């Protein structure tokens, strides 16, 4: 359970299961995810990226303007509202190493999730935080950022990942 999965691992395409109640097991998984994400380093991680099909997402990022760090875990995250306004930003993914693409997504979202105390949280997020959450919540339903690209661009990226992983394994 302690390592990142890379495309084309089939677990990345599976739907994660809802958590009945956040307990010590889920909190331990979230702590492990946070360690893996920070070590990678990444700004977000979904549980299926480490082979666990549970709806758990961890995020960590630094606001470029305020230099404030934001770090938290979401259990059973669900986007309940998307803004009409869209924005294009570059995305990458720890499961698709060294590949980046411009992806259009809604600027703001309202997300609902359980925290580690089983408390239902509802919050509106925008900018980078909104982007990270949309990307990670997509993972929980088996969707990857490359799915927003043309099949040509997607296939080129997948070939580059295979080459990268082959070279990495030969080191």
Q: 56-81 pLDDT, tens per residue?
A: 999 999 988 889 999 999 999 999 99
Average pLDDT, the chain: 95
Q: What is the CATH number of the domain that holds 148?
A: 3.90.45.10
Asked whether residue 41 is assigned to any structural domain, the reply reads: yes
Asked whether residue 119 is assigned to any structural domain, the reply reads: yes
Asked whether residue 4 is assigned to any structural domain, the reply reads: no
| 108, 130 contact by CB (below 8 A) | yes
- Number of domains observed in the structure of the chain: 1
pLDDT > 80? residue 171: no
pLDDT value for 66: 87
Q: Which of 85, 98, 136, 171 is catalytic?
A: 136
What is the domain extent for residue 136?
10-169
Asked whether residue 22 is assigned to any structural domain, the reply reads: yes
Active site residue 129: no
pLDDT > 70? residue 47: yes
The contacts of residue 28 (CB under 8 Å, 6+ apart) are none
Helix, strand or coil, per DSSP, at residue 111: strand
Spatial strand order in the sheet of 108-114 = 44-46, 56-62, 69-82, 108-114, 120-126
Long-range contacts of 63-69 (CB under 8 A, 24+ apart): 63/128, 64/128
Asked whether residue 15 is assigned to any structural domain, the reply reads: yes
Asked whether residue 5 is assigned to any structural domain, the reply reads: no
> Residue 118 has which token pair?
């089983």
**DSSP annotation string for 15-37:** PPBPPSS--HHHHHHHHHHHHHH
Q: Tell me the per-residue pLDDT of 105-130, one tens digit each, with 9 for 90 and over.
A: 999 999 999 999 999 999 999 999 99
Between residues 64 and 37, which one has the greater pLDDT? Answer: 37
Asked whether residue 81 is assigned to any structural domain, the reply reads: yes
Distance CA 169, CA 163 (A): 10
pLDDT value for 2: 64
Asked whether residue 118 is assigned to any structural domain, the reply reads: yes
Q: How many CB atoms lie within 10 A of CB 146?
A: 22
Q: Tell me the per-residue pLDDT of 88-97, one tens digit each, with 9 for 90 and over.
A: 999 999 999 9
> Residue 100 has which token pair?
């980046």
């Amino acid at each position: 359970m302690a390592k990142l999965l890379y495309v084309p691992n089939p677990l990345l395409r599976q739907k994660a299961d809802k958590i009945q109640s956040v307990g010590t097991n889920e909190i331990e998984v979230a702590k492990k995810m946070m360690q893996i994400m920070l070590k990678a380093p990444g700004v977000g991680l979904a549980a299926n990226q480490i082979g666990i099909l549970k709806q758990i997402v961890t995020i960590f990022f630094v606001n470029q303007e305020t230099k404030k760090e934001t770090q938290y875990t979401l259990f059973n995250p669900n986007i309940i509202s998307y803004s009409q306004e869209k924005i294009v930003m570059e995305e990458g993914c720890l499961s698709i190493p060294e590949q980046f693409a411009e992806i259009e997504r809604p600027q703001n979202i309202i997300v609902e999730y359980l925290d580690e105390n089983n408390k239902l949280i509802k919050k509106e997020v925008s900018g980078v935080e909104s982007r990270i959450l949309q990307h990670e919540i997509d993972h929980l339903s088996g969707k990857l950022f490359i799915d927003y690209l043309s099949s040509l661009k997607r296939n080129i990226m997948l070939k580059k990942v295979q080459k990268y992983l082959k070279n990495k394994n030969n080191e």
